[in-house]
Each structure stands twice: as C-alpha cells, then as structure tokens.
Amino acid sequence: NIKSKEDVYNAIENNNVKFIRLQFTDIQGVVKDVEIPVTQVKKALETGISFDGSSIEGFVRIDESDMVLRPDVRSFALLPWDQGKGVVARMVCDIFKPDGSPFEGDPRYVLRSILKEAHDLGFSLNVGPELEFFLFQIEKGKATTKPHDFGRYFEFAPADLAEDIRREIVLGLIDLGFNIEAAHHEVAFGQHEIDFKYDDALSTADNVVTFRYVTRTIAKLNGLHATFMPKPLTSENGSGMHVNLSLSKDGKNAFYDSQDEEEVDQMTYHFIGGILEHIKGITAISNPLINSYKRLVPGYEAPVYITWSGPNRSSLVRIPAARGQSTRVELRSPDPSCNPYLTFAAILAAGLKGIKEEIDPGEGTDVNIYDLTPKGLADRNIETLPPTLLDAANHLAKDDFLRDALGAHVHENLLRIAYAEWDAYKLQVHDWETNRYLNAV
Ligand code: ADP
Ligand code: MG
Ligand code: MG
Ligand code: MG
Ligand code: MG
C-alpha cells in the first residue's frame, strides 16, 4: 500500500524494478505511456517529466504543447508480465501545463474536480464497474471476429474454453492490486465478464484503464484477441460496462436508510433524477463510438428506454436488491469503450445536481419494459436513449450543465471527435445496404 515517494523508492529497491511506465489517457480514454528507467524516477516524482502534448488526441494546440506528467504515487504497481529484461512498474499521472497549473484537458483532472465538489458536500463516490469483453481468434497475425469458444452464460468447460485465460487475467489483475469478486463466461459466444470490487471513483477509473490493457495483453500472450468493442457480432449480446455507484458520508453508505420502508435514502432517488435528466448528453460520453449504438437496441439485455426501477433488469437505472453497505445505483448504458474518467465525472455531476435540486426521477417502472407496446410506452411518457452517436452528440452540444461540469475544453473536443466520427461513417456504403437494395430497386 503505497502512499509516499519514500514508499515508491522502497518498493523499487525491494522488487528490483528496472523501468517505470508513466501512464495517462487521452480524451477518448486511450491509454498512453512513456517508459523511464528507474534512474529517472526521482526527477519524475520531484519535478515531473515533460512531454509534447500536441500529438495526443484532444490535448492542445501546437503552440502550447509542452506538458508535464506528474505520477500519482498511490497508483504504483508492478506489471505482471514481460519481466525478462527487468521488473517493470507503472504509475498513473496527472497532467500539468508548463506554468504548473493542471491541464483542463486531462480526464483525471476533470474527474478530480467533480469529486472535489462532492467532497465539499461531504460525499465521496464509490464506483464498481462490470466490464464485458470478447475473446476472438487471431489468424495470420490478424484479429478476426471468430469467437474463441461457443460457451454461454456461466457455462463451464468444455463449452467454456477460456477458463485458464480468464484465470490468468484474474491473477495478473490481483498482482496489480485488484480485488477480484467474480469471473464468468457471459451470454454471447466468446464473451466474458470479470468483476472487481468497487473503490473510490478515481482509483476505479485508473483500474478500468489498467483492466483493458491487462486483458488485451494476456489474451495476446495466449494467441487471442481481446476486444472491448461494444457490439462486435450482429446477433449476439454486446459488451456493456454497468456502472454501480454509491455515495459515502462519514464512512457510511449515504444511499442506505434503515428507517425507510425500502431502506433507501431519499437522496438516492434525487441522484437518479439528476442522471435521468442529463442521460442523453451523458450517452455521448459513456457510449462514444458509432458501434456503441448497435448495442443499445431491444432484445439483447441492453437498455433502450430512459427508466429506473428496483431490481428489475430491463431498466436503464436499477437499485439492486442489496442493502447496507452495498446499497447502490446501477447505470446500465455505459460500454467499456468509454473514457471512464469522463463517464464517471459526468454521471456524478448529474447525480449531485439531482441531490442539490431534489430532482424527482418520476415513477419507477416495475414491468418488463421490452414487453410494453408503443402505446404503453407513450402512455407512461417513456423516452428512449439517443439512437445514434449523432443524436447523442447533439444532446451533449445543447447541455450547458455538462459543458460547465466537464469544462469547455473537454466538451468541445468530445463533440469535435464525435462529429468527425459520424462524418467518416456517413461516407461509407455498408454491406447491409448493398445486400438489401442492389437487387430490390
Ligand atoms: P450484477 O448483479 O449487476 O451482475 P455484479 O455482482 O457483477 O452485479 O457487480 C456488482 C458491482 O457493484 C461490483 O463491482 C461491486 O463491487 C459493486 N458494488 C457493490 N457495492 C457497491 C457500492 N456500495 N457502491 C458501488 N459499487 C458497489
Ligand atoms: Mg455482472
Ligand atoms: Mg455478477
Ligand atoms: Mg454481465
Ligand atoms: Mg450489472
């Protein structure tokens, strides 16, 4: 458990660490890193390491490109593989401008600033994500969409061929300090889920980024391709990243109220109310790819309608049945391609607004929403999530609250990237179109 520079120096010595990877993410949540030999670690911790930010997506203009990485000592961990040329450790970094002020395009900074707002109200945020991913075969050095196995939900060997690889990923994550709760085959062919215990929001966002590269690396070492693409196979479930959230106050779960009939504190409903009010704009952040919207369709366990409920799993937002310290809200729309820092920041900002303004989430929906007819949906005033990235981006563009929460820099860059993605997609004629229309008209 590392808390100071001294702890880092001791850990380096005790483990004979030779290299340190300084890790951060761009605005899309893509992990970047620069490796330094341990001889540079003192400099990194004392003054930071300079780098050119201009070639990182969503960072800065060329004329102000000198940025400084400052490692967060609490994130020090030993990487579990490739120790042949010496032990490698990683530290996650915060990004600063040359004048020493934090860089407003650093996703970690954006999350930190919302967490500070929560802290000023006496709250800290716990987040537990459930990342799903696919394992595909590699042929001639190239990833395919051929599933590695034909297992189904919770299936066992021989249908589940990935037991050993999943276990290897789990062991790698444990080495990196993860507290793993469960690992299982998911519903789709070749699809898996590994759950780790919730933690404070910043550590969890770091963990999501780490989880993705550990999974990809260990799959690759086993000759497989791991992907967090939200919907790689047309007729199979896609991969989600349910986000479980709770607020703590004075070390206690603030969503739990033993006196309430449902044992749920009223602020939980307001938190949900805030999220629902801003969910359309949030979706551009939590579901950032063209492909994300192919997952958010009826019939594949993914949410489509903007509703909340108790334990019923067809809703966008759920309050799972667990109480006490496990009382939580589960948002089911995010997918594992998102930037976790910005996603958690946007969700928390909206939830806090809900608490401050006591936003009413409306009636819970206790029926299976997928069974409702269009009239049933209309009678209940049930709205849908944005159907495309374009629609989601338009909602984010109009959402002044989210712009203020994320900062103008991040808001503008997210929109620039989303619209560019849409424009590139729009130019393509897809196989589906030729198959459907070539002979029909
Ligand atoms: P599901 O039933 O939706 O499949 P899982 O058991 O797969 O749920 O995952 C539940 C997640 O919620 C785990 O990451 C767990 O650590 C997390 N969690 C549990 N209690 C809390 C809490 N109080 N706050 C935030 N996350 C929590
Ligand atoms: Mg789960
Ligand atoms: Mg589970
Ligand atoms: Mg799952
Ligand atoms: Mg879940």
Q: Which of 6, 13, 35, 52 is catalytic?
A: 52
Instruction: Read off the pLDDT band of 58 (50, 70, 90).
Output: confident
What are residue 264's DSSP bridge partners? 256
Instruction: Read off the pLDDT band of 53 (50, 70, 90).
Output: confident
Cβ partners under 8 Å of residue 150, min gap 6: 159, 189, 190
Ligand 1, atom 2: nearest CA belongs to which residue?
A: 320
Matching residue, tokens 């749920």: 264
What separation in angstroms does the CA of 354 have from each of 133, 267, 360, 397? 32, 8, 8, 20
- Pocket test of ligand 1: the residue of 244, 245, 326, 331 to mutate, having most ligand atoms within 8 Å of its CB, is 244
pLDDT tens-place string over residues 195-211: 999 999 999 999 999 99
Q: Is 358 a catalytic residue?
A: no
Give the pLDDT score at 374: 82
Task: Pick the ligand that lies closest to the CA of residue 129.
Answer: 1
pLDDT tens-place string over residues 128-159: 999 999 999 999 999 999 999 877 777 776 76
pLDDT tens-place string over residues 219-265: 999 999 999 999 999 999 999 999 999 999 999 999 999 999 999 99
> Given a cut of 80, is residue 313 above it in pLDDT?
no
Average per-residue pLDDT in the chain? 93
Pocket of ligand 1 (CB under 6 A): 126-128, 130, 181, 195, 197-198, 242, 244-246, 253, 325-326, 328, 330
How many Å apart are CA 48 and CA 71, to the nearest integer? 7
Ligand 1, atom 1: nearest CA belongs to which residue?
A: 130
Q: Is 332 a catalytic residue?
A: yes
Give the pLDDT score at 83: 63
Task: Pick the ligand that lies closest to the CA of residue 195.
Answer: 1
Better-scored residue on pLDDT, 378 or 111: 111
Q: What's the average model confidence in pLDDT over 306-326?
A: 92
Q: What's the average model confidence in pLDDT over 63-73?
A: 86
Q: What's the average model confidence in pLDDT over 346-350?
A: 98
Atom of ligand 1 nearest to the CA of 196: 14
**Centroid of ligand 5 to alpha carbon of 130 (angstroms):** 6
How many Å apart are CA 163 and CA 173, to the nearest integer? 15
What separation in angstroms does the CA of 362 have from each of 29, 282, 356? 33, 19, 17
Q: Is 399 a catalytic residue?
A: no
Q: Is 33 a catalytic residue?
A: no
Q: What's the average model confidence in pLDDT over 284-306?
A: 95
How many Å apart are CA 139 and CA 280, to the nearest integer? 39
The separation between CA 45 and the C-alpha centre of its own chain, rounded to angstroms, equals 28
- Pocket test of ligand 1: the residue of 197, 198, 309 to mutate, having most ligand atoms within 8 Å of its CB, is 198
The amino acid that residue 154 corresponds to is F
Q: Is 52 a catalytic residue?
A: yes
> Given a cut of 60, is residue 62 above it in pLDDT?
no
Q: Is 186 a catalytic residue?
A: yes
Percent of residues, the chain, with pLDDT higher than 70: 98
> Given a cut of 90, is residue 419 above it in pLDDT?
yes
Give the pLDDT score at 82: 66
Q: What's the average model confidence in pLDDT over 28-38?
A: 93
Q: Is 193 a catalytic residue?
A: yes
**Centroid of ligand 1 to alpha carbon of 197 (angstroms):** 7
**Centroid of ligand 3 to alpha carbon of 182 (angstroms):** 7
Q: Which of 70, 106, 108, 132 is catalytic?
A: 132
